A and B are shown apart, each in its own frame.
Chain A
Amino acid sequence: MQKTLVSEPENDCILDGERELIAEILAGNNERYYELIAPLERRVYYTAYAILRTRADAEEVAQEAFLKAFRGLRSFRGDAKFSSWLLSIVMNEARMRLRQRREVSLELLKSPDHENEYTPIELADWREIPVEALAQKELAAHLEEALAALPAIYREVLILRDIDGLNIAETSDALEISVPAVKTRLLRARLMVRDYFLLRSWARPPVLRKAQP
């Protein structure tokens, strides 16, 4: 059973098209920078949003990250994909903004002591979760809330790996934590987001069925 969620690229290094594009931009063809970032706009914005939780801050941070990446393009070494480099810039900018807002909660500083000891909710059957029936917007809102409920160290790893689609090694580089730490946090983050999502879906179930006569 193939369960891989995010397809892994053939290699983690810079792609050929990307390399050419970057060379052109560095040679002075600035306008081509749009081409480089266009496919990444959503991920960049959403990564900032998932950390900051306000649209205005997320947009500002996304813009700062695009600018910073442009200014620092010469220092991009090309031993990673441009996307993971850019997303690590966004993650850092978003964290900095959080600190500026003095909203760093203790959870961010807290060391993860018992990362393996999470016990997920038991379900009789996945069918109990009315995913198919949820209106798209409602479902997105439940996911947002579930994501927001995660402690920061788990949220960050989940955003980069499962939303942005970075692989384990890229996630480890972006967060500057070890590969085993990524895996441990990812396990816990995935089980927690599932549980939070279930709890939210159950707490406010959509109107699913027609009234029985």
Chain B
Amino acid sequence: MGQASSVTKGTAMITLSCEAVRREISNYLDDDISPRMRRLLEAHLEQCRKCAVLLDSTHNVLVLLADEQRFELPAGFSIRVRQMLAEEFQKGKS
């Protein structure tokens, strides 16, 4: 998972490849990565516009997806659910 793609000798500077960043993007969005991986990933994102845009756009689409307000319940849905359950409750009592 997310191995370092290159080690620059002398400075011990470890960097991630774009591919490694892509593999971790979902975990990053879930805040489900180690502090070390987070540092590496964020270092890469600062340098790599392409990956930064991939992260932002994926994040934005997921924010839209999570927005409950974008879909509506059919008119009368709650009333029908209650009616159906009221019948069930009656059955239980009789």
Q: Which residues of A contact B (CB under 8 A)?
A: 1-6, 30-31, 33-34, 37-38, 41-43, 45-46, 49, 55, 59, 62-63, 66-67, 70-71, 116, 119-120, 122-126, 129, 131, 136, 139-140, 143, 146-147, 158, 162-163, 165, 168, 183, 186-187, 190-191, 193-194, 197-198
B3 contacts chain A at the CB level, 8 A cutoff: no
Q: Which residues of A contact B22 (CB under 8 A)?
A: 119-120, 191
Q: Which residues of A contact B60 (CB under 8 A)?
A: 126, 129, 131
Q: Are B57 and A143 in contact (CB under 8 A)?
A: no
Please, how many angstroms separate the alpha-carbon atoms of A147 and B60 in the complex?
A: 15
Of B22, B57, B74, B88, the most chain A CB neighbours within 10 A belong to: B57
A-B contact count (CB 8 A): 127
B4 contacts chain A at the CB level, 8 A cutoff: no
Q: Which residues of B contact A3 (CB under 8 A)?
A: 28-29, 31, 55, 59
Chain B, interface SS category: helix
Q: Say yes or no: A31-B31 contact (C-beta < 8 A), given A42-B71, A63-B81, A139-B70.
A: no
Please, how many angstroms separate the alpha-carbon atoms of A131 and B88 in the complex?
A: 45
Q: Are B77 and A41 in contact (CB under 8 A)?
A: yes
